[in-house]
Structures are given as structure tokens and as C-alpha cells.
Structure 1
Amino acid sequence: MTNPTSSTIEQEATIDDIIATSLQAQQKTGPDLRQIHSKSHGLLSGEFIIEPNLPEDLRVGLFKTPQTYPVWIRFSNGGAPQKRGQFNSDSQPDVRGIAIKVMNVDGQKVLDDEQKTQDFILNNYPTFFTKDVRDYADISKAGSGELTPERLEELGYAFAILQKIVSHKVGNPLLIQYWSMAPFKFGNRIVKLSVKSQQPEQPPETLPESENYLREAIVKYLTKEGREASFDFLIQFYVDDEKTPIEDHVKEWQEADSPFIKVATVRIPSQKFDFEERKRLDEGILFSPWHTLLEHEPVGSVNLSRKRLYSELAKYRREQIAQRSREPQPYVAVED
């Protein structure tokens, strides 16, 4: 039987490895840019509206009282920069993400770097692409020649899921569904989360050729056409380890086993957002699933790895921005 202490030490070492690899990549592709979900399609203001008349067992944490909170919402591609300061085209296969920062949230938080926020981070696929943190760490080494043929074969399932995830065609990030992939506490119970557009679109057969067509689609929808977008914020409850496993991150929690329950609405009014001041705020803002009330604390090994990874990368990025502003260094040509 595995000793829990040695297991924890091994997991921490794996997370150290992931952080070191990510920091190296961040240094190479842009120290002041995000390494995860680096390309933004827009940082939008909106509202998080708690459902009125929720039953007593759903009045937990953020959802305890029916009220409306202000939010910042960031849509993004999952990948890192292609090279220093240059992002992949939106027409390239990638994960599409949504990050929601609810503000003016009172209550005890897990982390103390933000006092009144509750963050939710979701992607456009129901599951993670690796079963555990060790596989996640090794996936990033797949192209470097460090892994044996046997190990690459073991990771075949992850490459297949990744291929499925990135092959989803998205015409407009405002009009699709997103999932939390990993589980969270909901008081003394456990849930997964989903954010589903109230105006869903059919996946487009062909994608626009523009490199930034996803940002352009949001600009057209919210700014030029003056429309608003709304999402249902949904939860799925844990049932048992077979139907809704917590640590097997590649098994989807089926709606037949655990139906979605609506607990809030995310509303994004028509607005202008494609300007430099908003882009600067976008670059400086930090989203983490660990910016949370105790009642919604992240659960499972993948979430545990995200706690340190997001924090370390953001800290490094902010230090680089501050250092450059405080005392700029001489120009050095960067190979690109």
C-alpha cells in the first residue's frame, strides 16, 4: 500500500517540475505574458445574478442570498504564445476558455491575496485531458525526446483526448458551453460546474481566415450589433466514485447520472471593450480557481497543482512587469 506521505512528496515534486518547465517557457516566449490561456479575445464587464428562490440545500457560499454581483469575464485560447509576443491564429486548433471573477464577495477566502473575489475557470470540453498530475507533467515533455517510447504509448489516451478537445470548431465564444473539468466543494458536498450559453450556436462548418476572428466575433456581437449575451451557471453533484469520480479527471460526469442544476445567470451587456486601457487591465488581472470562498474550495490533485502553478506564474509575470517599469534594462535583441 502506498504511503500517503511519500505520495504527497512525489506529487509536490511533480508540481515543482511543471512549474520549472512553465517558467522556462514563459522566459522564452515573453516574461510579462501569461503562459496559460495567454491569448485573450476580450475582457468584459457583466453581472453574476444568483437565482431567486433556490432550495435550502443550494443556498451555499456565494449562492446563499439572491443578489447581483459585478464580474469581469475573460475569454481566451488555452495555448501559450507561439514565440516571444506572438500568438497562434484563432484558426489553429486550441482549447477555448472562460474565466469569471465575481467581485464584492464577502466571506472567508482560501487565499489572502484578493479579499473580495470568487473566480471560476472553465474550458469548452467536459473533462481534463490527463488522468492525473504526473501524466500532465509528462505531456509537456512529449516533444523534447525525454520520454521513452513505452511512456509515450501510455500517454496515447491523453493525446487522443487533446485532439478531441482542440478539434471543436467555435464561431463565437459567447455562444457555446464551458465546463470546470475538475471538482469543487459546495458546502459539505462536491460539484462540477458548467456555464452554458442561453443563445447557443451550431458549430461553423468553416472558420474565418482572420487570425483574431474570435475577438472580432465578440466585437461584432456586443459592440457593433449592440446585443447582450447570457449564460446559465450550472452545477452537477457528485453521486459516487464510479459514476462521478473525483480523481479520474478524464471521465465525464454524465447528465443522466447527475443532472445540471441552474444556480445563477451570467449576463454580459452590450459594450465597448476593444481598447488599450481594457487590454492593460486584462494583462494584469489574475484568475485562479483558488480565489474562492472556503465553501467552494477546489478538490482533487489537478486543482492542487493549479494552486501553485497559477500563483507562481502570475507572481513571476508581475515581477517582470514591475521590474521593467521601475528600472528598464538595455535593449537586447531577442531571437524570434
Structure 2
Amino acid sequence: MKLNKTLLATITATVFLHGCSNVEVAPLGTELVIPGEEKVIKDISDLLTNKLDEQYKGEKFLRDTHPKANACLHGTFKVQSDIAPEFQHGVFQPGAEHPVWMRLSNAVEEVTSDYAKDFRGLAMKLTKVDGDRVSMSERPYGPNYERVLLPHGDEKHTQDFLFLGHDAFFAAGPDDFFDFFSSSFLSFALTHPRGVYNIIKGEARRVNPLNISWNSVTGYALGGKNEKGVYQNVVRYALENCGTNYGDKPEKNNPDYMEQNIAKQLESGTACLDFYIQRQVNAEDMPVENALVPWDQKESPFIKIARIDIPSQTFTSEAQKEFCENISFNPWHSLEEHRPLGGINRARRIVMKDISDERLKANNVERFEPTGEERF
């Protein structure tokens, strides 16, 4: 995605003159469903599934975004033994361990060279998770939107976390998300300057994905609600490297160098990532309904919750790559105590499920739930 200097200057000036967004602020510990949101989400789903059908007609269907994986890794999610009692909800039990699968990827809609500047993604699935799960069959939008809210029925013991290699998203909510995919980039840039500013800031050339500072960019409940119907905690998640990773510089003439750097490292070595939460302490500055806004670490510092240990392994076999291609990630593969919040997450519940269904059906793949013990 290349912008000329004049357009870039215009976008930057507009961002700082007019702020981030006019999205209504949800009170602390709550979320707001915008009237008409159900129609927008349905339009997003229809648009992206149709786009997927056209893009891969007659070919193997890849993901609509993040089609290129840099690595598919197994590891262990180990919770700190000394986490504060108010954060001991769901999978965050002191000393608990869960097998985990992680898929690291380039975000752009087509398979490109690792050298290209891009957002990066990390999807993580904890397994062997027990507890009350979020309902995929509830109907928050009324009787006319039942079709896409049928029970998920595919995963009963997992907890998914999604991350981007930046601290903010390119869309505040479902409206912006639809505009991004339904309009030209120039039109989107002129009408959504903060979104494009975030894209420019977030696109980067990386050496090893394990060195990236990862952020969930959307909010999640941590625990239940109090007697006033307000969530005890609302958090974002983050990952930070806690080891020394292989690779010195980007390799312009090697389109797969990031995969090769991780593979080289894990031939005989290990890796690790520290898992953090960032607590919402200010509804205005740390909004749930506006994913364009990064949450200030000075106002609310990261709190370490767990570590992901990645052992020495070989992950480049075709069997393991195919396994990872067929996994479905969705933040709504979740315990109720980690309920996804905000418009982007409400859209993900439906859109990601519909796109996953379309992709797996086209590839003649039956849904399955990973155990965390698979080895190839």
C-alpha cells in the first residue's frame, strides 16, 4: 500500500485536526450496540464471503486476510503463580498450564513476500479449557437476524486470542470495517483518515515475528458483571518477546525469510512470549467501541499474567502446515469470563464464522477441535 507524500500529509493533518472518531463512548465496563449494526455486519459477511468465492474460484481457498502463515507453532501457556485475585478468572488460574497452537501470519489479502511492509497477525488457541462458554446462539439483534447466530457447535474446550502487530486497528467499528472493504482505498483514506494513519503506523518490515509487540486492539471482559450490570474488568491483551530470536535483517530477495528465521531458531533452540493484560481505567481514553484508539500504557501499564514457552520443534512439514490452515480461530471460541466486547468483536463472531464455513466447505474440510497434543 503506497501513498504519495501529498495524500499522506493530508491524512496526517486531518487526523490531528479532527481527532480519532465520532464513535459514542460506552461507560466504563460496558459496551454499546449501535442501532442498525446487525445489517452492517450481515453486509460485511456477504461482501467478504463473495469476495472469497471470486478470489479463489477453482483453487484452494485461503483465508480472506492473513492468508500467508510465517509459522504454525505448538507451545505451553503457563499462568503466573502470583497474579492478583481480581484477575483470577477463566484460564487465568495461578499456575495453570494449557497446550497451545499459534499461527503467525502476514495480514494482507494476498500471499506476498515477507519483505513487504505489512500488518502482521498472531492467532493463539489454548486447549484443554473447561468452563462456561459464551453463547453462540443468543440473539442480541432481534428475531430477524437469527441465521448467523446459530450455535457454533465446533469447539468446546478452547480459548482463542487474536493479536495484531500494532496497538490500534484500522476501523473503529463495523461501519468503518465495511467501508474499508467496499470502497476504494483513496475514498477510504479521505473519509477515514485515522484508519489510514493507523495502517501507515502499523505496517512494518520485520525480521522475526517473535520480536513483534503484539496487541489485541479490542476489549474483552475479565470476569462477570456486578449488581449494576457493569463488567468487573475490561482488558486488552498484549504479547512481548521474552527471549533472543534469530535473524539480523530483512532479506529483500527471500520471500519466506521470516519462516526460515523461526525454523533456524527452533532447530535446537527455544522461544517465549510474555502474555499481558491492560486494564480499562478510563472509558474516554480507553474505549471499547472504538478500536482506532490505542490504550495508553502510562495510564494503564501492562500486567503480566502468563508466559508462552515454545520448545524446539520442526514446523515446516506439509502436514503441519495443512493442519494449521484448517484450524479456525475466532475470539468467540471463549469462556464467558473472557467475553469479547465492542463492535469489531461483535462483527467477528458472525463474519469470521461465515468466512471460515465458506473456506472449509470449499476445501472439503470438516471442522475439528484441536487437542493441543497434535504432532507432525
CA contact (8 A) 1:176 1:200 kept: no
Q: What CA distance in whole angstroms lies between the structure 1 residues aligned with 2:74 and 2:364?
A: 26
Q: What CA distance in whole angstroms lies between the structure 1 residues aligned with 2:128 and 2:106?
A: 27
User: Measured at CA, do residues 106 and 91 of structure 1 come closer, stay the same or move farther in structure 2, by a change above 3 Å?
Assistant: same
**Aligned residue number for residue 333 of structure 1:** none
User: Measured at CA, do residues 200 and 323 of structure 1 come closer, stay the same or move farther in structure 2, by a change above 3 Å?
Assistant: closer
User: Measured at CA, do residues 323 and 234 of structure 1 come closer, stay the same or move farther in structure 2, by a change above 3 Å?
Assistant: closer
Q: What CA distance in whole angstroms lies between the structure 2 residues aligned with 1:56 and 1:156?
A: 41
User: Measured at CA, do residues 156 and 62 of structure 1 come closer, stay the same or move farther in structure 2, by a change above 3 Å?
Assistant: same
CA contact (8 A) 1:176 1:201 kept: no
Q: Which of 208, 211, 235 does residue 172 from structure 1 map onto?
A: 208
**Aligned residue number for residue 61 of structure 2:** 32
**Aligned residue number for residue 343 of structure 2:** 301
Q: What CA distance in whole angstroms lies between the structure 1 residues aligned with 2:295 and 2:185?
A: 34
Q: What CA distance in whole angstroms lies between the structure 1 residues aligned with 2:125 and 2:359?
A: 19
**Aligned residue number for residue 7 of structure 2:** none
The structural deviation recorded for 1:206 is 4.9
**Aligned residue number for residue 221 of structure 2:** 185
Counterpart amino acid of 1:15?
Answer: I
Q: Which of 80, 83, 94 does residue 54 from structure 1 map onto?
A: 83
**Aligned residue number for residue 195 of structure 1:** 239
**Aligned residue number for residue 222 of structure 1:** 266
**Aligned residue number for residue 84 of structure 1:** none
User: Measured at CA, do residues 253 and 152 of structure 1 come closer, stay the same or move farther in structure 2, by a change above 3 Å?
Assistant: closer
User: Where has structure 1 moved over 3 Å in runs of 4 or more?
Assistant: 200-208
Counterpart amino acid of 1:217?
Answer: N
- TM-score, normalised via structure 1 length: 0.86
User: Measured at CA, do residues 204 and 124 of structure 1 come closer, stay the same or move farther in structure 2, by a change above 3 Å?
Assistant: farther
The one-character-per-residue Cα deviations of 1:19-41 (angstroms, maximum 9, x if unpaired) are 12211221122262111211111
Find the residue that maps to 1:322 and give its secondary structure. Answer: coil
CA contact (8 A) 2:213 2:240 kept: yes
User: Measured at CA, do residues 239 and 278 of structure 1 come closer, stay the same or move farther in structure 2, by a change above 3 Å?
Assistant: same
- TM-score, normalised via structure 2 length: 0.77
Q: What CA distance in whole angstroms lies between the structure 2 residues aligned with 1:176 and 1:72?
A: 18
Counterpart amino acid of 2:39?
Answer: A
The one-character-per-residue Cα deviations of 1:251-278 (angstroms, maximum 9, x if unpaired) are 1111110011001001111100100110
**Aligned residue number for residue 92 of structure 2:** 63
> Which piece of structure 1 moves more, 288-297 or 28-37?
28-37
CA contact (8 A) 2:220 2:341 kept: yes
The structural deviation recorded for 1:143 is 2.2
> Which piece of structure 1 moves more, 314-323 or 269-278?
314-323
Q: What CA distance in whole angstroms lies between the structure 2 residues aligned with 1:206 and 1:23?
A: 34
Find the residue that maps to 1:122 and give its secondary structure. Answer: strand
CA contact (8 A) 1:142 1:152 kept: no
**Aligned residue number for residue 314 of structure 2:** 272
Q: Aligned-residue CA RMSD in angstroms?
A: 2.2
The one-character-per-residue Cα deviations of 1:216-237 (angstroms, maximum 9, x if unpaired) are 11111112xx111111100011
Q: What CA distance in whole angstroms lies between the structure 2 residues aligned with 1:62 and 1:144?
A: 40
Q: What CA distance in whole angstroms lies between the structure 2 residues aligned with 1:64 and 1:50?
A: 7
Alignment of 1:107-122 (within 5 A): 107-110=131-134, 111=136, 112-122=153-163
Q: What CA distance in whole angstroms lies between the structure 2 residues aligned with 1:288 and 1:52?
A: 28
Find the residue that maps to 1:233 and give its secondary structure. Answer: strand
How many residue pairs match? The answer is 307
5+ residue gaps, structure 1: 82-86, 325-336
